[in-house]
Every structure is written in C-alpha cells, then in structure tokens.
A = this chain, B = another copy of it.
Amino acid sequence: MLANKMFDLIKNDLAELEVALQEAVSAPEKVITEIGTHLVKSGGKRLRPAIYFLAARCGEKFSLQEAMPLGVALEMMHMASLVHDDVIDSAATRRGSATANAKWGNQISILAGDYLFAKAFALVAESNYSKRVDRQLARLICDLSSGELIQNKEIYHASCDVDEYFERIAKKTANFIAIACQLGGDVAKLPEGYIQALYDFGYNVGMAFQLTDDLLDLTSDAKTLGKPAGNDILQGIVTLPAIRALEISPDRDELRQIVTDRNMTPEMVQRALEIVRASDGIEFTRKKVEEFLEGAVAALPEEMPEEIRESYRMIVSFVGGRKF
C-alpha cells in the first residue's frame, strides 16, 4: 500500500516513464528491442526516477517533457547495471522473470548492458541539460562500477572493516539514489544548498536501502525474497551483519572459515546464518538503518513543498519497513 501511496504525486510521471522507457529501448536492431522490452516489462520499483521526479517537482515550474529524458536515463543505467550484475552472478531470475543472461546468454547480455548505458548517455546528451548533468551521470557510473569492482575483489574475504563496507555500499547504491535526487534539484534550478540537501536525503535513503537489502538476505525466506536466504554469504559477499558477527561472535572463527570457503555447501550457509543471527549483527545493522533513515528525514529542507516532503517521508517509511 505504502509503495503505491508514496508515488501518488508522480503517478502520471511514472506512467509516462514506462512509455518513454519502452520507446528508448526500441531500436532498428530487433535483438535490442527484444531484450529492452523484456527488461522494461520485468518491472522494478522505479525508485531512482521516482525520487528524481519528486525533486524536480520542488521547483517553481515543472515540465515533465523536459524532465523525462533524464528520468529515463537514470532507470536505463540502473537496468544496464542489473543486466551486467546478473551475468556476473549467473543469476537465472530477477523479480520473478528470467534474467537477460538466462534468456539470451552472457555474450549478448554484456553487449546489451553496454548499449543501455550508452543509450542513456545519448538521451541526456541529446537533451538540453547542463554539462553538469553529463558529468554527474558519468561519475555515477564510475562510482557504481568501482563499488561493484571492490565488492567483487573482496568476495570470500572475511573483512571486518565497517568503514570500508560503508564506503563500498555508498559507491554501489547510495550515491546513485543521491545523484538521482540531486539531479531533480538541478533540473528544477533550485539553489545550491537545497540541491545539497536533496543529495543528502538520497544518500541516507540509499544507505538504508542497501542495509535493508543486506538484512533481508539474512532474515527473510525464499518465498518472500524470490531467492534463498543467505545468498550473499553463498556468493562470498560479507555484509554488515556478518562483519559485526565476525567481530564479536564467540563462533567468529567458524564463521570466518565458512565465509572464506569458495566451496561452501548449503549446510555451511545455514550454519553461517545461525551464527550471524545469534550475534547482535542484525540488531546492530537495524540500528544503522534507523540512523540513516533519521538522517534522511533530517536532511529534507524547510522550503520543500509539504506534499513532496510527505512523499519523501513515505519513501523513508517504506525503506524502513520493506519486506522485499
């Protein structure tokens, strides 16, 4: 319910976004249109463009036509990164649909991801945004891929460094949502301080979003999640709850052995989940989520129109309470 209500204000923007996305992935090459259509139809929360449209509506006048290409570009970049992620993780399904790699193979999926990235840049370059927008988008993808690179380099390493972990998820997730929010302010020609506040809001929401993702992987079940719990551990990705358990659990040596084992069995994953759940790793992470969500609400500027602030507050509640 909340998931629908929080986007009430921009219902029309998001409906038009779907049309524009479909158009953006349509190309003379049949295979591009096929893959693109599959990706658009597979859905998603459209969180990045939603946060962007809300910010863009904070200005004195708002033109959906002017704002749209950047909204489309943000979602396409997200899509492109998911396509490459799914190749990297050999994932077969996402959101209940077959992944591009499952349907078309790795080779075509790598190229389709490249195409979507480039098409997103093209959409923005062909519109009348400032050079700053191009800069932000390019930086965003640099950060996104370097965040993923570090994560990949660190798999099956039992790192215990909370700061390093925060830095990595900032690059991988929070920065993207922050820039989506900031770009809305940019397009709305808001003052610098306002734009900075929007960035801060997005950053805090993004950090909380990634941490709840990490929590869900440990606390949810296969039915709700669409994939088995403990998937991160299985893939060698050590998230905050496990980092905390590696620091304070009496069974930390056993946990360390499991998470660094590339030949981990499902039984070992179960045991790792037990150890993490028995530690205060989950509580510790929930507290961090709360802190970031409070940070997000605190960042919302006074000048923000009340109905937009209310939508952003609903997004904060949604992230705090999400079960999927």
Task: Assess the B145–A135 pair: CB atoms within 8 A.
Answer: no
Given A119-B142, A125-B134, is A108 in contact with B29 using a C-beta cutoff of 8 Å? Answer: no
Copies of this chain held together in the complex = 2
Task: Assess the A32–B146 pair: CB atoms within 8 A.
Answer: yes
Task: Assess the B146–A108 pair: CB atoms within 8 A.
Answer: no
Q: A119 contacts which chain B residues (CB < 8 A)?
A: 138, 142
Task: Assess the B141–A135 pair: CB atoms within 8 A.
Answer: no
Is A139 positioned at the interface, with any CB of B under 8 Å from its CB?
A: yes
**Residue among B32, B87, B114, B146 making CB contact with A141, cutoff 8 Å:** B114
Is A121 positioned at the interface, with any CB of B under 8 Å from its CB?
A: yes
Q: How far is the CB of A152 from chain B (nearest CB, A)?
A: 5
Question: How far, in whole Å, are A104 and B141 apart by their CA atoms in the complex?
Answer: 21
Is A19 positioned at the interface, with any CB of B under 8 Å from its CB?
A: no
Given A122-B138, A141-B121, is A146 in contact with B27 using a C-beta cutoff of 8 Å? Answer: yes
**Residue among B29, B84, B111, B126 making CB contact with A111, cutoff 8 Å:** B84
Is A61 positioned at the interface, with any CB of B under 8 Å from its CB?
A: no
Question: How far, in whole Å, are A152 and B146 apart by their CA atoms in the complex?
Answer: 27
**Residue among B87, B134, B137, B139 making CB contact with A110, cutoff 8 Å:** B87
Q: How far is the CB of A120 from chain B (nearest CB, A)?
A: 8
Q: A32 contacts which chain B residues (CB < 8 A)?
A: 146, 149
Task: Assess the A149–B88 pair: CB atoms within 8 A.
Answer: no
Q: Across the two chains, which residue of chain B brings its CB closest to A150? A: B29
Q: Report the count of interface residues on A (CB-CB < 8 A).
A: 42
Question: How far, in whole Å, are A125 and B130 apart by their CA atoms in the complex?
Answer: 10
Is A247 positioned at the interface, with any CB of B under 8 Å from its CB?
A: no
Task: Assess the B141–A111 pair: CB atoms within 8 A.
Answer: no
Question: How far, in whole Å, are A108 and B145 apart by their CA atoms in the complex?
Answer: 10
Q: Across the two chains, which residue of chain B brings its CB closest to A120? A: B138
Is A118 positioned at the interface, with any CB of B under 8 Å from its CB?
A: yes
Question: How far, in whole Å, are A117 and B142 apart by their CA atoms in the complex?
Answer: 8
Task: Assess the B108–A149 pair: CB atoms within 8 A.
Answer: yes
Q: A92 contacts which chain B residues (CB < 8 A)?
A: none
Q: A134 contacts which chain B residues (CB < 8 A)?
A: 121, 125, 131, 134
Is A223 positioned at the interface, with any CB of B under 8 Å from its CB?
A: no
Question: How far, in whole Å, are A146 and B35 apart by their CA atoms in the complex?
Answer: 12
Question: How far, in whole Å, are A175 and B113 apart by their CA atoms in the complex?
Answer: 20
Q: A112 contacts which chain B residues (CB < 8 A)?
A: 145, 149
Q: A114 contacts which chain B residues (CB < 8 A)?
A: 81, 84, 113-114, 117, 141, 144-145
Q: A135 contacts which chain B residues (CB < 8 A)?
A: 122, 125-126
Question: How far, in whole Å, are A111 and B143 apart by their CA atoms in the complex?
Answer: 11
Identify 9 residue pairs between A and B in the complex whose beta-carbon atoms are under 8 Å apart, listed by A's number. A88-B106, A88-B111, A115-B145, A119-B142, A121-B138, A124-B138, A125-B134, A131-B131, A134-B134
